[in-house]
A = this chain, B = another copy of it.
Amino acid sequence: MVDKGLIFTIFGGTGNLTYNKLIPAFYQLYKEGRMKDNVSIVAVGRRDKTSESYREEFRAVLEKKIKDFDVELYERFNVLIHYFKMDFKAEDDYENLYHYMNQTDADHNGSGNRIFYLATSPMDFPFISEQLKGKGLLDTGGFTRAVFEKPFGYNLESARGINATVSEIFGEPNIYRIDHYLGKEMIQNINMVRFSNQIFSAVWNKDSIDNVQISVKESVGVEERGGYYDTSGALRDMVQNHLLQILALVAMEPPSTFDTDHVRDEKVKVIKNLKVNKDLKDKELIFGQYEGYKGEVKVDPKSQTETFVAMKCFVDAPRWEGVPFYLRTGKALDGREAEVIIEFKVDTCCNQFDDSAKPNLLIIKIQPEEGIYFRINTKEPRSESKLMTVSMDYCQSCNIFYRSPEAYERLLLDIMNGDATLFTRWDEVESAWELVSEFTEQTEDKERYMTSYQFGSSGPQESHELLEKDGRKWWLLDDLKSEFMMGG
């Protein structure tokens, strides 16, 4: 709960993110009483709009988007939203903004607390930041925080360039780099499940865990985002941020406390200690492109951009010696789901279960279903010693009384409260770019070893072979669920 008044400014106020995520998230926070009337949301955009017309647009958006839309509540909420017309690439406009914000502060008895959310291209981050500073918009009596929507740069070099500027202007503690995956309920839950259960914390190591699988699958292709995507690819778009962040949470050493920097200290160690065989001919790092990608709108017809990545990596730490972490992500796959799968070793006790026991699996279901799946062996009823598996399948998002919060609700709240735990610190971003940059440099090899896969398939065959040659397979939640139905 934010006690002091503040101005929350969004650069990119007419963009998709603002319409689909940010304003709806503010609305939910307001509805639940987690955000008070002392916040002024200033949406900045080039288009001709007034605050009134802008608010009307959102009434329509929210009416459509939110089941139990409350008009009366919206009337109270929408007066917090203001539209400010400006071109954020035009220096002069910042002077207008300066006066506008001072006036807003004065009108609302504000304390000078300001948050600037840059929902723009990363290339604009330095310029906007410089202008905010140069034109005095950061000289207030209150706090000034900057939020940078992902991606934070396009590669190691650009990220470093951006960071050099913005960190000097705002200072690291005031910078919130968005990785909205970190705001997802079940990503937040990784720490909870792992560390608050003796039964998991005690076996979270190489002695008991056989391998870890992290999958983030999208069923759609690039759709209208071909222009952006073709300059990025799955590695930059997904692995560099979401997948590495998830991996870091799964693999990190227990932090001394859950305070922001203790957690980040441990996460960054994981990313720095990640080992991947980047020699593409060994096929432990696989790039794939779905058939038809080159024909997508705004995509280079000769594009070598990957729409799929799978890789095997190792965390260089005593806890994880010899335990592979398999990552995969891609577009145009056979489902839209994200999950972390911990596959435990099969117990070979008593020379009894070598053939019949199946590995315990702990699955953290990130989306679309949120919850925990857990599989154990038990004796098949009536049999002497034949085993079967039974599963716990806890689905928190299936509860009809429960509206799964959007990641941005939690993130906006944390920004307003000054809690940066669910945001990525510069050294995390930098080390993730360092890792990813190693692979992106090998342009020739990438072309040679690029695999292809059908739209709507489970990805390139090479991704399956990656596990098969280790005697493993990608576990599929749907398969497991039907297995359980048959068994139990």
Chain B residues within an 8 Å CB radius of A196: 347, 349, 352-353, 356-357, 377, 387
Residue in chain B with minimal CB distance to A372: B378
Whether a CB of chain B sits under 8 angstroms from the CB of A443 is: no
Chain B residues within an 8 Å CB radius of A357: 196-197
Contacts A387-B192, A390-B372, A392-B392 given; indicate if A377 touches B197 (C-beta within 8 A): yes
The distance from the CB of A143 to the nearest CB of chain B, in whole angstroms, is 20
Whether a CB of chain B sits under 8 angstroms from the CB of A280 is: no
Contacts A192-B379, A258-B352 given; indicate if A360 touches B197 (C-beta within 8 A): yes
Whether a CB of chain B sits under 8 angstroms from the CB of A189 is: yes
> How would residues 176 to 210 of chain A score, 1 for a CB under 8 Å from any chain B CB and 0 otherwise?
00000000010011001101111111110001100
Contact B405–A382 (Cβ < 8 Å): yes
Residue in chain B with minimal CB distance to A254: B349
Whether a CB of chain B sits under 8 angstroms from the CB of A439 is: no
Contact A350–B254 (Cβ < 8 Å): yes
Contacts A352-B258, A381-B402 given; indicate if A394 touches B192 (C-beta within 8 A): no
Contact A394–B374 (Cβ < 8 Å): no
Whether a CB of chain B sits under 8 angstroms from the CB of A292 is: no
Whether a CB of chain B sits under 8 angstroms from the CB of A322 is: no
Contact B195–A353 (Cβ < 8 Å): yes
Whether a CB of chain B sits under 8 angstroms from the CB of A396 is: yes
Chain B residues within an 8 Å CB radius of A350: 195, 254-258, 262
Residue in chain B with minimal CB distance to A32: B382
> How would residues 43 to 75 of chain A score, 1 for a CB under 8 Å from any chain B CB and 0 otherwise?
000000000000000000000000000000000
Contacts A346-B198, A360-B198 given; indicate if A404 touches B381 (C-beta within 8 A): yes
Residue in chain B with minimal CB distance to A344: B198
Residue in chain B with minimal CB distance to A362: B199
Residue in chain B with minimal CB distance to A370: B381
Determine the distance from Cα of A344 to Cα of B199 in the docked complex, in whole angstroms: 7
The distance from the CB of A45 to the nearest CB of chain B, in whole angstroms, is 31
> How would residues 330 to 356 of chain A score, 1 for a CB under 8 Å from any chain B CB and 0 otherwise?
000000000000001111011111001
The distance from the CB of A396 to the nearest CB of chain B, in whole angstroms, is 5
Whether a CB of chain B sits under 8 angstroms from the CB of A385 is: yes
Residue in chain B with minimal CB distance to A390: B394
Contact B376–A199 (Cβ < 8 Å): yes
Chain B residues within an 8 Å CB radius of A258: 350, 352, 385
Whether a CB of chain B sits under 8 angstroms from the CB of A399 is: yes
Chain B residues within an 8 Å CB radius of A262: 350
Contacts A208-B199, A359-B198, A405-B382 given; indicate if A193 touches B377 (C-beta within 8 A): yes
Contact B345–A198 (Cβ < 8 Å): yes
Within 8 A of B (CB), among A394-413: 394, 396, 399, 402, 404-405
- A-B pairs with lowest CB-CB distance, top 4: A392-B392, A192-B379, A195-B349, A196-B357
Pick 8 A–B contacts, CB within 8 A, sort by A. A189-B379, A192-B377, A192-B387, A196-B347, A198-B345, A372-B376, A392-B392, A396-B488
Residues of A that sit less than 8 Å from B by CB? 185, 188-189, 192-193, 195-203, 207-208, 254-258, 262, 344-347, 349-353, 356-357, 359-360, 362, 370, 372, 374, 376-379, 381-382, 384-385, 387, 390-392, 394, 396, 399, 402, 404-405, 488
Query: What 7 new A-B contacts, CB under 8 Å, besides A254-B349, A372-B378?
Result: A199-B200, A202-B347, A257-B351, A258-B352, A372-B376, A381-B405, A392-B394
